[in-house]
Amino acid sequence: MATLDDVASPKAKRKLTGYWLILPGALWLGAFFVIPFYSLISASLFNPKGSPLTGYNMSWHFHNFVSAIDQYHAEIIRSLVYAGIATLTCLVVGYVLAYAIAFKAGRWQNLMLVMVIAPFFTSFLLRTLSWKLILSDDGKVVSFANWIHLTNVLHWVHLTSTDDRLLATPFAVIAGLTYNFLPFMVLPLYASLEKIDIRLIEASSDLYASPIRGFAKVTFPLSLPGVVAGTLLTFIPAAGDYINATLLGDPNTRMVGNVIQGLFTTQGDFANAGALSVILMVIIVGMVLVYVRTAGTEELV
């Protein structure tokens, strides 16, 4: 590229063009994505005695964090557990689909990829409402789950509160999260599986590795960047989501998103809401750093 453009125009002008092209996007993201974090952090240190109407005093009120953790630790832990289970389920289910598209789909590859993102074209809320029908008490899914004693197992591991229903239970919320964020797992997995040189997998079988061993020693390690990106893109939005908890859960499945939303809009308690948002972000950033370090991949985009 360089040679072509160097002939066409002087280097100095080109250098500036790059900055001009990026400027509007950079300003937008700077003003409305980066700077708001500063506002959020300062809101989290407001004196909670104020209100959105009369204004708040910025008083370095670190106690907000203590009181937020004290009051809402159950919701924070619940969010991380639900999002964790949903992410693991997405990883297993999504890996099968991504693998099928990357290696087995042949000429149907493009069509299958379109089908992966097709759910994005109907409303997230409407699809979540659909699960209300699918998991409803007198529905076929519940009677089938009863018949194979899945409901008993779920009750035994505390994912449901009674042993004859699925809706309005942690199981329903996790199922909804899994469903809604599956495409975010499949696409990065597919992207990194597709890059794998198929000859490496063939070589492992030529060297008498069983298919399972070949997968564990060759395919899976090579797809790790996709696994890392996919789990992050699933876990992070899932941990902050509250639509699934509201539509498919009950008051006992409240997640941290429900609390933050309620504090901001109905209670107008910016101080505690801000503190809770910052806590969620810090936990997530901390987990991401540890996770990326452990998985040993720096390349995310």
CA angle 191, 197, 198 (to 5 degrees): 105
Which of 233, 226, 240 is closest to 288 using CA atoms? Answer: 233
Q: Is the dihedral of CA 161, 150, 133, 174 positive or negative?
A: positive
- State how far the alpha carbon of 102 is from the alpha carbons of 205, 206, 241, 254, 293, in Å: 18, 21, 30, 38, 27
CB atoms inside a 10 Å sphere around CB 76: 19
Write out the binding residues for other proteins, residues 48-107 only, by CB under 8 A. Answer: 52, 93-94, 96-97, 99-101, 103-105
Of positions 198, 203, 289, 300, contacts other proteins by CB under 8 A: 300
The label of the residue with tokens 């529905």 reads 139
Instruction: Confirm or reject binding of residue 280 to other proteins (CB under 8 A).
Output: yes
User: Nearest 10 degrees: CA dihedral of 132, 134, 140, 144?
Assistant: -90
The contact mask relative to other proteins for 191-230 (x = CB under 8 A, - = no) is --------------------x-------------------
Q: Minimum CB separation from other proteins for residue 126, in Å?
A: 4
Q: Minimum CB separation from other proteins for residue 201, in Å?
A: 13
The contact mask relative to other proteins for 127-146 (x = CB under 8 A, - = no) is xxxxxxxx-x-x--------
Listed ranges 1-9, 60-68, 70-78, 201-209: which one lies at the site for other proteins (CB under 8 A):
1-9
Instruction: Confirm or reject binding of residue 246 to other proteins (CB under 8 A).
Output: yes
Amino acid at 298: E
Instruction: Confirm or reject binding of residue 45 to other proteins (CB under 8 A).
Output: no
Of positions 6, 42, 71, 77, contacts other proteins by CB under 8 A: 42
Instruction: Confirm or reject binding of residue 260 to other proteins (CB under 8 A).
Output: yes
